[in-house]
Structure 1
Amino acid sequence: MANPTDPARRLSARVLLVDEDDRVLLFFNQDSVVPGADSYYTVGGRVEAGESLAEAAARELFEETSLRATPETLDAVVCRREGPMRMSDGTLMHAEEHYFFLRTDNFEPDLSGLEEGERREIVHGAWLSLADLEATDAIVFPIGLAGLLERLFTEGSPAVPIELPWAGLTSS
């Protein structure tokens, strides 16, 4: 039986969406993802009951950007990370995130499909190069994204998902 004080689990499917100029689409947030700090994070979100990781990633991609992709075009998970996460309502969760890599032509993301909470958090979408990622003062999630993308660009998708570090950025 689960301990009632154990945090709930939150399974997420995320997309490393990269354009023809090797720039990744990230969402910019001011102050609410990490209190007192600016941050960037990838497209994606919670896996709903009955969905596979790829189905959830394709759904989230469409909802958050209007770009349609089939689960089959997402191929395999290229990396994952997990750790504690405090939600905006104060709930402590154990997050498990799985990341897909997808190439696309550059486009202007349509944010009209965002849910209410996402509309409060996302200031705008931005296509960032590796140099942009290295130069920004904002926190970039997942931690180590520039190095991960450089590895994917040069080596391609790994045979086994790469384990990424958790940020460890939860309030106490």
Structure 2
Amino acid sequence: MSAEGEPETVRRRCARVLLVDDEDRVLLFYSRDYMGPGVEYFVTPGGGLDPGETLEEGAVREVFEETGLRLDPGGLGPVVAEAAGVWSDGPELEIHSEDVYFFQRVAHFDPVRDRLEEVEQAEFTAARWLTPGEVAAADALVFPAGIADLLKDLTGGTGPVAPVRLAWGAWRWNADRDWTPTERASILDR
């Protein structure tokens, strides 16, 4: 936190991958109680770029670290979506994120999560393959942007000609209210 009591601001470019198996299920990481009691959400594989990395290099590195799956940066599917906004997980830091989403069909596999960073191990309690219906039902809980409509188009073979802009669905810390189970819906609707 800065001397003036304002949170530190970090700008972050992220590469995320929508990994879809042969049964049109997408891989998402699930978290519960990490951000606060009763707060649950899903996260797409991916994360921040390392210095000098291209989007493709960052995407395949993140997928490998988070799932054990090795992808070829040159064979990665297209960027199908973008999202941007601000999120935080506490009062000290505010992250201004610009995320791109790649689409990649893969054979079904069991994620190996032994390369997760310590904070990811604490945050992501499970890796789940969700059907299109399950994603639609949980779309408001997908961080940082809802993907149900996009996945419906992609798995139906009508992917976008150019990347679509997804509505930012991530939340921010509110020092006056904190996060509680009863406020979860309002937090996730921001």
With the length of structure 1 as denominator, give the TM-score of the two structures: 0.89
- Partners of 1:33 and 1:102 lie apart in 2 by 29
Q: Which amino acid aligns with 1:45?
A: G
- Bigger drift between 11-20 and 89-98 goes to 89-98
Q: Distance in 1 between matches of 2:94 and 2:13?
A: 14
How much does 1:155 deviate? 4.1
Q: Could you tell me which residue of structure 2 aligns to residue 57 of structure 1? A: 59
Deviation at 1:137, TM superposition (A): 8.6
Q: Give the aligned partner of residue 102 of structure 1.
A: 104
Matches of 1:159 and 1:77, distance apart in 2: 10
Match of 2:50 among 45, 48, 51: 48
Superposed displacement of residue 46, structure 1: 0.7
Per the alignment, residue 124 of structure 2 pairs with: 122
Task: Kindly tell me the number of residue pairs found equivalent between the two proteins.
Answer: 169
C-alpha distance 8-136 of structure 1, shift in aligned 2 (>3 A): closer
Q: Which has the greater radius of gyration?
A: 2
**Larger proportion of strand:** 1
1:87–1:48 distance in 2 versus 1, CA, 3 Å: farther
Tell me, what secondary structure is at the counterpart of 1:22? coil
Tell whether the 8 Å contact from 2:25 to 2:130 is kept in structure 1 after alignment. yes
Tell me which amino acid in the other structure corresponds to 2:84: E
**Which one is further off, 132-141 or 152-161?**
132-141
Give the Cα separation in 2 of the matches to 1:138 and 1:163.
16
Unaligned runs of 5+ in 1: none
Partner Cα separation in structure 1 for residue 31 and residue 124 of structure 2: 5
Identity of aligned residues (%): 41
Following superposition, the deviation at residue 146 of structure 1 comes to 1.2
Query: Given residue 119 of structure 2, which amino acid in structure 1 is its aligned partner?
Result: G
Q: Which amino acid letter does the alignment assign opposite residue 46 of structure 1?
A: G
More divergent stretch after superposition (83-92 vs 23-32)? 83-92
Candidates 82, 85, 103, aligned match of 1:83: 85
Superposed CA RMSD:
2.2
Shift of 1:138: 7.1
Distance 1:123 1:5, change over 3 A: closer
Q: Deviations over 1:69-127 (max 9, x none)?
A: 01111132110100011145730010111110000111110000101111110101000
